[in-house]
């Protein structure tokens, strides 16, 4: 049975994606300047991820695993999850993504069944729950990366509300009813009142944005960009409130951050590698033209202070660990010099992803090469893989904590 093979993920052409980063990784021409937003690798139903067979053919990765689950996943992961439990992605965020929250695993299962019982089709635009799983996420920045992440601590949030005249109306609500009352008010305000509050603000900051007088570490920069990006007649996007309510985080290249169930967040700009539980459950809170369900959003949002825990870049270390407090996935990075060799011993199905350079993977008589154009490979349980860097290489390894044995 084949235990090592090249993978071909699926590109998602969402409007917010960039036009060059992912095509460069995949060595794909893009003369029409089509947006390449995400590259998916895994067994999620939304990922048409293909595995290259030794005879030259291709098969869907999920179909190949289905045929030999225990042998390929290992007993521990099979018993715990029944399938590969994670989804690995590369993202190119050119335009801002929607403010979003993901449900807990327990609540996702309940709400999935409720929507199904109500007859809402899985592909319906007003469907909130696409599966029964949670969607905790870990991302590693491949460039300077900006995002919103959880509510600001109380003192910082009050200072922001006091500093921005148009947000003064929220101060007594926040003091009386806390984060929950603040966010409920922002999400339930009639659209006419949203427009009345935000119009003076965006009229003031858009000229500054257009004159390059705003910096990316200021909420005004992203609020002005949002106002110009998400334009609908007589409708100012209420997600602009959240830009001021949430922590604005700037990750440097190589830094990482984990986002658990209930933590509101939005990616604003940059490239990253992202690993998550295999799910597509998203509840949106603004900066989008897609469906927003305020009741479901508020039910799942963690309305509490969030202190961003940035996982710093581990300079000078060949192997980098990106800890995440979940059982569904684990991500390691390897920054290799030409000629470097490492051994890994997968005890479950693992995805190896090359971001730059070249690396050869060897398992007995089987060898595959990761290089621009062929950036991903799958290794299964019970293998021993030697990774040899043919050039300086940045490589990521996606696995499951319960399925990982000690490497050398």
Say if CB 89 and CB 278 are below 8 A apart.
no
- Widest CA span in the chain: 69
CA dist 148 and 156 (Å) reads: 14
Q: What is the token pair recorded at 402?
A: 């319960």
CA dist 261 and 309 (Å) reads: 15
Active site members: 284
CA dist 280 and 131 (Å) reads: 7
Q: What is the token pair recorded at 101?
A: 């929250």
CA dist 205 and 210 (Å) reads: 9
Q: Is 162 annotated as a binding residue?
A: no
CA dist 307 and 118 (Å) reads: 38
User: What phi, psi does 333 have (nearest 5°)?
Assistant: -120, 150
Q: What is the token pair recorded at 52?
A: 């290259």
Q: What is the token pair recorded at 373?
A: 């154009």
CA angle 352, 135, 250 (to 5 degrees): 75
Q: What is the token pair recorded at 178?
A: 């806390």
Say if CB 339 and CB 214 are below 8 A apart.
no
SS3 state at 238: coil
CA angle 92, 95, 160 (to 5 degrees): 120
Q: Is 317 annotated as a binding residue?
A: no
Report the binding-site residues: 100, 102, 137, 265
Please state the residue numbers annotated as binding site for Zn(2+): 100, 102, 137, 265
């Amino acid at each position: 049975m084949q235990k090592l093979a090249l993978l071909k993920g699926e590109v998602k052409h969402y409007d917010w994606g960039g036009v060059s980063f992912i095509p460069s990784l995949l060595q794909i021409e893009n003369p029409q300047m089509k947006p390449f937003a995400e590259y998916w690798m895994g067994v999620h139903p939304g990922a048409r991820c293909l595995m290259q067979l030794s005879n030259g053919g291709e098969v869907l990765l999920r179909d190949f695993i289905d045929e030999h689950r225990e042998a390929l996943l290992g007993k521990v992961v099979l018993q715990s999850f029944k399938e590969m439990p994670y989804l690995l992605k590369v993202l190119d965020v050119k335009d801002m993504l929607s403010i979003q929250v993901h449900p807990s695993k327990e609540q996702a299962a309940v709400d999935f069944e409720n929507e199904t019982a109500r007859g809402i089709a899985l592909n319906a635009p007003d469907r909130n729950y696409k599966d029964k799983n949670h969607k905790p996420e870990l991302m590693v920045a491949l460039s300077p990366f900006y995002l919103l992440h959880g509510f600001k601590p109380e003192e910082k949030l009050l200072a922001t509300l006091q500093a921005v005249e148009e947000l003064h109306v929220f101060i007594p609500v926040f003091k009386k009813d806390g984060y929950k009352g603040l966010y409920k008010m922002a999400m339930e305000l009639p659209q006419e009142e949203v427009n009345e509050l935000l119009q003076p603000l965006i009229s003031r900051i858009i000229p500054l944005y257009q004159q390059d007088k705003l910096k990316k570490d200021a909420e005004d920069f992203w609020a002005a960009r949002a106002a110009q990006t998400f334009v609908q007649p007589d409708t100012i996007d209420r997600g602009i409130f959240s830009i001021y309510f949430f922590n604005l985080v700037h990750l440097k290249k190589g830094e990482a951050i984990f986002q658990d169930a209930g933590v509101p967040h939005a990616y604003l700009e940059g490239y990253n590698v992202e690993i998550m539980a295999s799910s597509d459950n998203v509840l949106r809170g603004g900066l989008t033209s897609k469906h927003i369900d305020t009741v479901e959003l508020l039910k799942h949002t963690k309305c509490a202070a969030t202190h961003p825990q940035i996982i710093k870049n581990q300079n000078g270390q060949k192997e980098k660990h990106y800890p995440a407090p979940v059982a569904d996935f684990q991500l390691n990075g390897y920054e290799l010099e030409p000629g470097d060799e490492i051994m890994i011993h997968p005890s479950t199905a693992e995805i190896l992803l090359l971001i730059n350079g070249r690396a050869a993977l060897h398992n007995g008589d089987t060898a595959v090469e990761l290089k621009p154009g062929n950036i991903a490979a799958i290794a299964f349980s019970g293998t021993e893989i030697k990774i040899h860097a043919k050039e300086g290489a940045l490589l990521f390894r996606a696995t499951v904590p319960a399925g990982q044995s000690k490497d050398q």
